[in-house]
Amino acid sequence: MKKTRVDQKFSKLKKRGEKGFIAYLGAGDPCLEDTVDIVLRLEDVGVDLIELGLPFSDPLADGHVNQAAATRALEAGSTFDGVMECISKIRERSEIPLIFYAYMNPLLARGFDESMRIAAQAGIDGFLLLDLPFEEAGPYRQALKENHLNAIQLVTPTSPDERIDKIVKRASGFVYCVSREGVTGVQDELAAGAGALVNRIKAKTECPVALGFGIGTPEQARDAAVLSDAVVVGSAIVNQFYRNPHTPEGRADAARFVEDMVKAVKGV
Has 95 been annotated as catalytic? no
Catalytically annotated residue among 62, 125, 223, 259: 62
Are residues 90 and 49 in contact, defined by beta-carbon separation less than 8 angstroms? Answer: no
Has 51 been annotated as catalytic? yes
The domain in which residue 216 lies consists of: 5-266
pTM for the predicted model, two decimal places: 0.95
pLDDT of residue 189: 61
> What's the count of helices (H) and strands (E) in the chain, helices before strands?
12, 8
Q: Provide mean pLDDT across the span 152-158.
A: 93
Are residues 231 and 210 in contact, defined by beta-carbon separation less than 8 angstroms? Answer: yes
Q: Provide mean pLDDT across the span 235-246.
A: 96
| 230-233/20-26 β-pairing | parallel
Catalytically annotated residue among 29, 51, 223, 229: 51
Output b/e per residue, 68-88; b: 16+ Cβ within 10 A: bbbbbbbebebebebbbebbe
Exposed/middle/buried for residue 61 (C-beta within 10 Å: 0-12, 13-18, 19+)? middle
CATH number at residue 246: 3.20.20.70
- Among 115-124, 132-141, 183-192, which is the least confidently predicted range? 183-192
pLDDT of residue 134: 85
Q: Provide mean pLDDT across the span 197-204.
A: 96
Taking only the tens place, the pLDDT of each residue in 17-72 is 999 999 999 999 999 999 999 999 999 999 999 999 999 999 887 889 999 999 99
pLDDT of residue 185: 46
Number of domains in the chain: 1
pLDDT at 187 > cutoff 70: no
DSSP element (H, E) containing 210: strand 209-212
pLDDT at 135 > cutoff 90: no
